[in-house]
Amino acid sequence: MSRYVGVDGCSSGWFAVTCDPDEGLDYALRSDFAAVVDAVPTADRLLVDMPIGLPERGRRACDEAARERLGSRASTVFFAPCRAVLDARDHEAASAVNRDRTGYGLSIQAWHLVPRIREVDATLRSSRAIPPVVEAHPELCFATLGDGPVSASKATAAGRTERLDRLRAVLPDVDRTYEAWLDATLRKDVARDDVLDALVLAVSAAGPLARVPAVPDEQVPRDAVGLPMEIRYLADHAFDT
């Protein structure tokens, strides 16, 4: 039985959507990333919207390529911090070490992601049995489901509508699922766009994946602890018939 999972960080932890071709869609709200992967040990693939491989110096080529591919939506891709940032105690220290290692400071928005990056990093480096965990970006996946990047921000009603329109092509019942999950959760715990992002990642996990930049598996750069520095997304025309 195939199971595919899409995961997005949210205010209360992680929002995880499981896509089973036979049983449909389900969601879970977990407080930490280890609990997410422990709950789906036999999943075929898990896509997460969070940096995995972290540079020692400079910026990741995949972040640059993802921003270029997204064009007007480039700002939705945060540059991954250098690995040394994971040991920083506060934003000031993190920004200083990132500037020293990459030439750029660390935004406060990126600093707020660091605890989540630590969680993912610790889980992937642990000895627990976990499914294949892959870094992906929802906006790249939404772009594939339509005619390029979504025009409006996911924080707006228009942006959410456009993303639902694109999901509907592969999930005909997505509107009812989306509303049911919003009714079952609180907005202080899970934002509307968290649900949409996890949904598109789960759908993408079940399809063929491309990467930015488009390099063969053996040429994907790896960080100092062996984790791949790549961003995956749903391959073009994955659902053509």
Digit-coded pLDDT (tens) for 80-115:
999 999 999 999 999 999 999 999 999 999 999 999
Q: What is the CA radius of gyration of the chain?
A: 17
Least confident of 123-132, 167-176, 195-204: 123-132
- Record the tokens describing residue 174, joined without a space: 């997505």
Q: How many domains does the chain have?
A: 1
Mean pLDDT value across the chain: 95
What's 144's domain CATH number? 3.30.420
Neighbouring residues of 183: CB distance < 8 A, sequence distance ≥ 6? none
Under a CB-based contact definition with an 8 Å cutoff, are residues 95 and 106 in contact?
A: yes
Residue with tokens 């400079």: 58
pLDDT the model gives residue 129: 78
Is the confidence at residue 240, as pLDDT, over 70? no
Span 215-227, average pLDDT: 96
pLDDT the model gives residue 238: 57
**What is the distance between the alpha carbons of residues 67 and 231, in angstroms, rounded to a whole number?**
11
Q: Alpha-carbon torsion 94, 100, 101, 105, what sign?
A: positive
Domain span at residue 64?
1-77+112-241
Span 32-53, average pLDDT: 97
Q: Alpha-carbon torsion 69, 156, 198, 163, what sign?
A: negative
- Residue 155 maps to a domain: yes
- Residue 125 maps to a domain: yes
Cα angle for residues 221, 66, 39 (degrees, 5° grid): 70
Span 160-170, average pLDDT: 96
| Residue 166's pLDDT band (cuts 50, 70, 90) | very high
| Residue 234's pLDDT band (cuts 50, 70, 90) | very high
Span 15-40, average pLDDT: 95
Is the confidence at residue 2, as pLDDT, over 90? no
Of 76, 106, 79, 78, residue with least CA distance to 90? 106
Span 192-219, average pLDDT: 96
Name the pairing type of β-strands 13-20 and 24-30: antiparallel
Neighbouring residues of 100: CB distance < 8 A, sequence distance ≥ 6? none
- Residue 56 maps to a domain: yes
- Residue 179 maps to a domain: yes
pLDDT the model gives residue 128: 84
Is the confidence at residue 173, as pLDDT, over 90? yes
Q: What stretches of the chain adopt beta strand conformation (E)?
A: 4-10, 13-20, 24-30, 45-48, 133-135, 209-212, 231-234
Span 6-25, average pLDDT: 94
Torsion angles phi and psi, residue 166, rounded to 5: -70, -40
- Residue 71 maps to a domain: yes
Torsion angles phi and psi, residue 60, rounded to 5: -75, 140
- Residue 99 maps to a domain: no
Span 62-72, average pLDDT: 96
- Residue 107 maps to a domain: no
Burial 3-16 (b: 16+ CB within 10 A, else e): bbbbbbbbeebbbb
Under a CB-based contact definition with an 8 Å cutoff, are residues 114 and 85 in contact?
A: yes
Question: Using one digit for the tens of pLDDT, what is the confidence trace for 112-127?
Answer: 999 999 999 999 999 8
- Residue 97 maps to a domain: no
